[in-house]
Amino acid sequence: MYNPNESGGLIDRVGRWLHRRRHPTRCYAICAVARSGSNLLCDGLRATGRAGKPLQFFCEKLEGRYGERHGLDPVHDYAGYVRGIVQRTSTRNNVVGVKLMGLDLERFLMRLRQTGAFGTPAGSELQILQAALPRLQFIQIRRRDRLRQAISRVRALQSDLWKSGDKESAVAKAKFDPRLISQSIQAARRVEEIWSAFFFRNGIEPFLVEYEDLAADYAGSVRAVLKFLRIRLARGFEIGEPTTVRQADAISQKWEERYRALVAERSDLVTYV
C-alpha cells in the first residue's frame, strides 16, 4: 500500500544523495573563543590526515599569509580566495576544516555577502556560509573555567607566546595584572555571547567540546568529533599525544589564588563564574 510518509522520506534521502554527489566536499568550522583549547583540538584533527587542515583562514590579519601560501589573493578576489582555500586545504577524503573566532565572524559574513558569489543579499547567514563552505557543520569549543581561560590569555598577551610547544620563545615575562585578567573574563563572555546568538538565530545546535574534557581525554575527545563528522580513521591509525603543550603550571595556579583573594576585596574586578 502506498505510504506518503515513506515516499517523502525516500525523496528526502534521494535528494541528500544527489546533493552529496554534486558537492563531494564537506566542511566543518571550529567555533572558538581565545584560549578555549582550539589549537589543541585543531592539531589533533589535522594530525589524523582525514579531517582537513583547520586553521584561521578567514581571520583578516592572517588572510595575507594563507593567500601567499596557496597562491590566492584575498584583497582583490575574496570569492576566489574562499573557493581556493576550500579546494586546496582539503584532505584526500574531501574534508575541509576551518577555525572561526567569534570576533572574526561578522566580518567574514560581510565579506562573503560583498562578493555576491555566495547567494543573494537577502540570504540568511547560514545560507551564505553553506554556499561558501559546502555541507558545513559546526563544532563549538569552550572552557568551563573562565578564570583559568583569562589567565591563559593574559600570559599569552604579555609574552606573545600563543601556542606552547612552538619553537618561538616568549618576548617578555608575564606579570600578574588583575585588571587585565578581569577584562579578559569579560571579553570571553562577550565572544561566547556572539556564538550563542549566532547559533540561536540560525537554528544551529553545534557539537560541543569543552576544554577540560579535551585535556582529560585527548584521544577520546578527538574521536568523538570525528564520529560527529562521520570521518573514519585509516585502519590502524592511533591518535598520539598532543603537540600543543598545556600552559597551566605553578604560575597559573599562583595567579588564580591571588585573583580569587582580590575579588572579595575589590569591586572593580569581575567574578569568574
Q: What is the per-residue pLDDT across 176-224, written as a single tens digit (0 to 9) for each?
A: 999 999 999 999 999 999 999 999 999 999 999 999 999 999 999 999 9
Residue 174 confidence (pLDDT): 86
Segments of the chain with pLDDT less than 50: 1-2, 4, 14-20, 166-167, 170
Strand 207-210 and strand 26-32: pairing? unpaired
Segments making up each domain of the chain, as ranges: 23-144+191-246
- The fold for domain 23-144+191-246 equals Rossmann fold (3.40.50)
Residue 271 confidence (pLDDT): 86
Residue 195 confidence (pLDDT): 98
Residue 15 confidence (pLDDT): 45
Q: How far apart are CA 260 and CA 41, in angstroms?
A: 29
Mind spelling out the 3-state secondary structure of 112-126? HHHHCCCCCCCCCHH
Closest CA relative to residue 106, chosen from 85, 129, 87, 75? 129
Closest CA relative to residue 213, chosen from 24, 13, 71, 44? 44
3-state helix, strand, coil in the chain (%, to 5): 50, 10, 40
Residue 165 confidence (pLDDT): 52
Report yes or no: 41 and 100 within 8 Å, Cβ to Cβ. no
Give pTM, 2 decimals. 0.85
